[in-house]
Amino acid sequence: MAPVSKPLCRILFFTLSLAAFAQAGVAQESTNKSGNHARGGGPQLQLIATFEHQVTGVTVTPDSRTFVNFPRWTEDAPISVGELGASGDLRPYPDPEWNSWRNARRDEVTPQDHWVCVQSVVADKHGNLWVIDPGAPAQSLVVPGAPKLVRIDLASNRVAHVYAFDETIAPQGSYLNDVRISPDGRFVYITDSGVRGAILVVDTASGSTRRLLDGDPSTQADKAVTVKVDGKPLQQTDGWRVSFSADGIALTPDGRYLYWQAVKGKTLYRIATDALQKRS
């Protein structure tokens, strides 16, 4: 998605995060003095947190821990991945060192083991937090060695595995966007919303990653679609209109089907996951 102003970021996160919290059963419910829910008996959602920096990901673990991420699009946010405390405080996760990469220090801090431009965080049911880092600050050039998928063990709060992606998996122009994990935890599916859309499939058992549907019409932006904000075409600072490829992604609860859609598109696609898992 395209960078937006800070005030809009706060409003969007308020709306989207509350929806996520509600689905996870974490949003606080407001009741009146009689103990009944307000507004005709339905539950009310309350604001949990606001941030000064742009948020693109929020996830809640089965035991109600909340994590958010801040991409490095228009600013050097001090925290890339953070855990939200009960009082709304935010601590760098898994530690300050992983969050220490900065544009001004790119020649001093190794991108392989630091957050460069985190786009999404997703907690699974097996005690892991998955973090996707496309490694492309400002959605521009990919920093060599930066694209990666990281699995963090939530019990120890330590990085358990880093799946590094070379230029054959995350080439220049790519922007790894979102991630879903198979129910058994073996396969990870990632959308690439960059210049040339694709679906990445990571086999955690073998450690291998394949770039599939690369350039396929189903993963590309629809040139006939114009994204508008307040009735005006959304465009970059250089005047070019935005073009986002495969972005939104969802997996059925049984893990049998994967769905995806380009932001700049009108068609929702799906595929049987066994077709993605086969190597032939």
Walk me through the domains of the chain, giving residue ranges and CATH numbers.
54-277 (2.120.10.30)
Residue 259 reports pLDDT greater than 50: yes
Q: Which amino acid is at 33?
A: K
Task: Answer yes or no: are the C-beta atoms of 244 and 221 closer than 8 Å.
Answer: yes
* Cβ neighbours of residue 6 closer than 8 Å, sequence gap 6 or more: 52, 53, 54
CA atoms within 13 A on the CB side of 232: 5
Residue 65 reports pLDDT greater than 50: yes
Band (20; pLDDT cuts 50, 70, 90)? very low
Alpha-carbon Rg for the chain in angstroms: 19
Residues of the chain with pLDDT > 90: what percent?
Answer: 57
What is the SS3 assignment for 13? helix
Higher pLDDT, 107 or 252: 252
Q: Which strand (E) or helix (H) includes residue 6?
A: helix 6-24
94 preceded by cis ω (within 30°)?
Answer: yes
Q: Cα–chain-centroid distance for residue 181?
A: 13
pLDDT digits (tens, 9 = 90+) for 143-153: 999 999 999 99
Q: What pLDDT is attached to residue 31?
A: 46
Q: Which strand (E) or helix (H) includes residue 274?
A: helix 273-277
> Considering only 25-39, 85-99, 101-115, 253-267, which range has the smallest mean pLDDT?
25-39
Q: What pLDDT is attached to residue 274?
A: 96
Q: Mean pLDDT score of the chain, rounded to an integer?
A: 84
Closest of 135, 120, 137, 24 to residue 69, by C-alpha: 120
Most confident of 9-13, 50-54, 123-127: 123-127
Task: Answer yes or no: are the C-beta atoms of 83 and 66 closer than 8 Å.
Answer: yes
Tokens of residue 244, six digits: 């986002």
Q: How far is CA 206 from CA 164, 178, 203, 210, in A?
A: 13, 21, 6, 12
Residue 124 reports pLDDT greater than 80: yes
Residue 90 reports pLDDT greater than 50: yes
